Structure 1
Amino acid sequence: MARVVIIGAGHGGFQSAMSLRDEGFAGEILLIGAEPGLPYQRPPLSKAYLKTGDAAALAFRPEGFFEKKAITLRPGLRAEGIDRAAARVHAGGEAIAYDHLILATGAITFRPPVPGLERAHELRSLADAERLRGLMDRPRRIAVIGGGFIGLEFAAVARAQGHQVAVAEAADRLMARAVSPEISDRFRRLHEGLGTELYFGSPAAAVDGGGVDLACGTRLPADLVLLAAGVRPDTGLAGEAGLALENGIAADATLRTSDPQISALGDCASFPDPRRGIRIRLESVQAATDHARAIARRIVHGTAAPYDALPWFWSDQAEARLQIAGLALPADRSVQTPDGTVLRFDGDRLSAVESVSDPKRHMKARKLLAAGGEADLERLAAAAYDLAVL
């Protein structure tokens, strides 16, 4: 295969290029990124970067790495279209040929139809984080729209810096899509203890220069508003090119799209989950990284093994690190152990383990839930919910 073109220079795109070389790919690799500069880590944007402002520390690798690995990096180049018939990507007036194309376009901020929302800031890119950090150089009244990972990570940093913070969550609890009610309640208490005001069950109805109005009639005075109400897969290029879409770019078990010359990974891609038997899409750095490695192996070695890596997630909020091994759906029931760990169950089958600041428990859970690991409610109850026993 002569040339692989990768659209998107985030975690998944960068890992794709690196893994292709690690697997022995000898052809051309072209990595296209819409943002200027070197590819960088995004998770620290809502945490460490807001504290330090050290952008250089975010880079995956120095500039010389790309030359050494013969990876052609094209930063600041936005892909504008895909001509599947001619196997070309159109970008910046160029028609770039590919033998295989990897779409790592990620996700974009979900923007609900709220009057005045253009006043709210986002936190998806380094430019967003730089802008926010500059605005936080003096005491602010901050309103955060959305009580998910990003909104809460930002809120914790802002409170530590002395800002007044209010978080408005449309659901009835924090991180409702991602964690159990027990973990939601634990982090509610954590953020309230930090002095953050929390509002539930009432979405934002309007944003203006003085703050945010909630649908329930509550007014949140603010001179800085962050929109963190979730994301949507960036499927614009794929959709215009006629690729199948289903909660993102629809990929098969090997992460190929409906066009066998094109693969998709990370936040923008959905794929069949072998554990639950449904199509899922994961908003996770680790998933994007694992996807990239699997695609590189397939391209280089021709292997067609289904992707089955165990999902896992984390979020650092103040001094607490939330870690999730496995994947639970909101309907999965939960059992809380005496030490505060929460086990999630799909029927009687263990689907995920949620722990807080307990890395050993998290690693045990990942080993247990990895491909081939089994645990059900009866066996766990008999073992007093001790994962190490199993």
Structure 2
Amino acid sequence: MSVVVVGASLAGFSLVRDLRERGYDGSITVVGDEVHPPYDRPPLSKEFLHGEVDIALGDTDDPGTRWLLGHRAIEITSTASGPGVALDDGTVVAGRSLVLATGARARSLPGAQGLGGIHTLRTVDDARAIRAALHTARTVVIIGAGLIGAEIASTAATLGVQVTIVELANDPLSVVFGPRLGALCADLHAANGVRLRTGVAVAEFLGDEHVSGVRLTDGSLLTADAVIIGIGAIPNTEWAQGSPVAIDNGFVTDSQCRTTVPDIYAIGDCARAYHDALGSHHRCEHWSNATTQARIAAAAIVGAPPAHLPSTYFWSRQYGRMIQFAGNRRPDDAVRFIDGDPSTPSCTALYERAGEPVAVFAIDNARLFTRYRKQIERRPSAIATP
């Protein structure tokens, strides 16, 4: 039995590791469109922007695993050996099982293409370009006040750059944390000298060959030596549109990461997986989701008992603060501070449903956060989300 993995980032790398840990000793072929060995993406919006740091995920010298880096999959195929993919150089690789881990790409905006100084962040090469821009720019405009935009703004501010964040929503991060805790995170920008413009969008980018400013929909003009767009990502599924694999905002899978085609799995940012407790499909772009789905798919491939699907967990470092979240919240959940409050240097809050904790949020309180995260993970009801 052989396994083919399309995608050499965190999800694909984790799948290889998990298969080996489960005793799988067959051949594995990993296809990656980047020439770089597998690397970790979270540091790209944080410490990597200050300088080169080690982001390698680990060794790729397993003799039973072949890494085809710098090759792009263009089509899913069916062969006598099983499902496979055709590559951009004309070769076909196939195996008993095929795992799709092609990730996602950063969204952009009209008018951004072809104008120097406008960046998105997805790859290590993107991060190097942004780092170079932040070390020379005086003014930077960041489009999008999500976690990535906030982390880049934090880094830029520490470098002495004048930063303005533009966000279409009136309440940044309220979808993620709810309005009360979302506002707490948004307040960190003002406290660190970063200007936040909400409820307004980009009307046009100004400049000839290089961006010089951004005009907003309210008519105001922001000067900019550099612009960074952080407005989400699009799953990389177009290359497989002609296949029988179901695609709907990602490769559609069951709770064990199996697509609608036998022996084809999907994991990570490109997968829209079914959650048994929810009765619906969801696509998640968090680091922890990629590693979790790799474990689930590895178990399914080797025929092991189904792996446990934990609740959501993610973290963000902004302005020297550590923000953590675990669990799954609904808009109508009650929020209760169990340590500190929005006015204190650190705080921890629980999201409660019918009097039971279903999620936990903390700023600079890892000990208490970890205690309640473990408590929530032990509760089956905590896995449900809207």
Same fold at TM > 0.5: yes
Q: Are 2:283 and 1:289 equivalent residues in the alignment? A: no
Structure 1 window deviating more from structure 2 (200-209 vs 234-243): it is 234-243
Amino acid at match of 2:310: A
Asked whether the equivalents of residues 367 and 373 of structure 1 are also in contact (C-alpha less than 8 Å), the reply is no
| Cα RMSD, aligned residues only | 2.0
Equivalent residue runs for 1:102-113 within 5 Å: 102-112=99-109
1:328: Cα distance to partner?
2.1
Contact 2:144-2:165 within 8 A present in 1 as well: yes
What does the per-residue CA deviation read over 1:225-248, in whole Å, with 9 as the maximum and x for residues that have no partner? 001011122222333323112331
Q: Percent of aligned positions with the same letter in both sequences?
A: 32
Task: Evaluate the alpha carbon distance shift between residue 199 and residue 162 of structure 1 in structure 2; reply closer, same or farther with a 3 A threshold.
Answer: same
Report the more deviating stretch, 278-287 or 179-188: 179-188
Matches within 5 A, 1:193-342: 193-209=191-207, 210-300=212-302, 302-303=303-304, 305=306, 307-330=308-331, 332-340=333-341, 341-342=348-349
CA distance in 1, matches of 2:130, 2:162: 15
CA displacement 1:136-160 (0-9 Å, x = unmatched): 2324210000000111100000000
Output aligned runs, 1:60-99, within 5 Å: 60-61=57-58, 65-68=59-62, 70-84=64-78, 87-91=83-87, 92-99=89-96
2: CA distance, partners of 1:285 / 1:118: 31
Question: Which of 348, 358, 364 is the matching residue for 2:365?
Answer: 358
Is 1:50–2:52 an aligned residue pair? no
Q: How many residues align?
A: 367
The corresponding residue for 1:181 is 179
Residues 106, 267 of structure 1: 8 Å contact kept: yes
Rounded Cα–Cα distance in structure 1 between residues aligned with 2:194 and 2:97: 48
2:377 corresponds to:
370
| TM-superposed deviation, 1:306 | 6.3
Match of 1:385 in 2: none
The residue that corresponds to 1:31 in the other structure is 30
Q: Which deviates more, 274-283 or 211-220? A: 274-283
Structure-1 residue corresponding to 2:351:
344
1:10 matches 2:4: no
Q: Secondary structure at the match of 1:38?
A: coil
C-alpha separation in 1, matches of 2:215 and 2:305? 51
Q: 2-side partners of 1:347 and 1:272: how far apart?
A: 25
Between the aligned partners of 1:3 and 1:320, the Cα distance in structure 2 is 45
How far apart, in 1, do the equivalents of 2:305 and 2:242 lie? 27
The alignment partner of 1:243 has SS state of: coil
Q: Which residue of 1 aligns with 2:127?
A: 129
Higher mean C-alpha deviation, range 115-124 or range 228-237: 115-124
Provide the residue aligned with 2:167 in structure 1: 169
Moved more, 246-255 or 15-24: 246-255
CA distance, structure 2, for counterparts of residue 175 and residue 72 of structure 1: 41
Separation in structure 2 between the aligned mates of residue 338 and residue 17 of structure 1, nearest angstrom: 41
1:345 Cα deviation from its structure 2 partner: 4.1
- Code of the residue aligned with 2:372 in structure 1: it is A
Counterpart Cα distance in 2 of 1:277 and 1:309: 16
Q: Is the 8 A contact 1:178 1:330 kept in 2?
A: no
**Structure 2: 5+ residue stretches without partners:** 342-347
Distance in structure 2 (CA, Å) of the matches to 1:307 and 1:251: 16
Instruction: Using structure 1 for the length normalisation, give the TM-score.
Output: 0.88
User: How far 1:294 sits from its partner (Å)?
Assistant: 1.4
Distance 2:354 2:252 in 1: 27
Aligned AA for 1:147?
A
Q: Distance in 2 between matches of 1:88 and 1:274?
A: 29
Distance in 1, matches of 2:278 and 2:350, equals 16
Which residue identity does 1:298 align to in structure 2? A
Summarize deviations over 1:213-260 as a string: whole Å, max 9, x none: 121222221110001011122222333323112331110011100012
Q: Aligned equivalents of 1:190 and 1:123: distance in 2?
A: 22
Q: Which amino acid aligns with 1:257?
A: T
Which secondary structure does the structure 1 equivalent of 2:119 belong to? coil
Distance 1:253 1:307 in 2: 10
Shift in Å at residue 293 of structure 1? Answer: 1.1
Equivalent residue letter for 1:321 = M
- Quote the Cα distance in structure 2 between the aligned partners of 1:43 and 1:12: 13
Partners of 1:204 and 1:189 lie apart in 2 by 22
Structure 2 residue identity aligned to 1:102: V
1:144-197 Cα offsets, whole Å, 9 max, x none, are 000001111000000000111000011112223311222222222211111101
TM-superposed deviation, 1:359: 1.0
Q: Distance in 2 between matches of 1:3 and 1:53?
A: 36
SS of corresponding position for 2:231: coil
TM-superposed deviation, 1:338:
4.9
Shift in CA distance, 337/118, structure 1 to aligned 2, threshold 3 Å: farther
Structure 1, residues 43-75: CA drift from partner, whole Å, max 9, x if none?
Answer: 000111111223xx11112xxx32235221111
Residues 1:158 and 2:180 are matched in the alignment: no
Paired AA for residue 223 in structure 2 = P
SS at match of 1:80: strand
User: What is the CA–CA distance in structure 1 between the aligned matches of 2:215 and 2:332, rounded to whole Å?
Assistant: 31
CA distance in 2, matches of 1:338, 1:143: 35
Structure richer in helix, relative to its length: 1
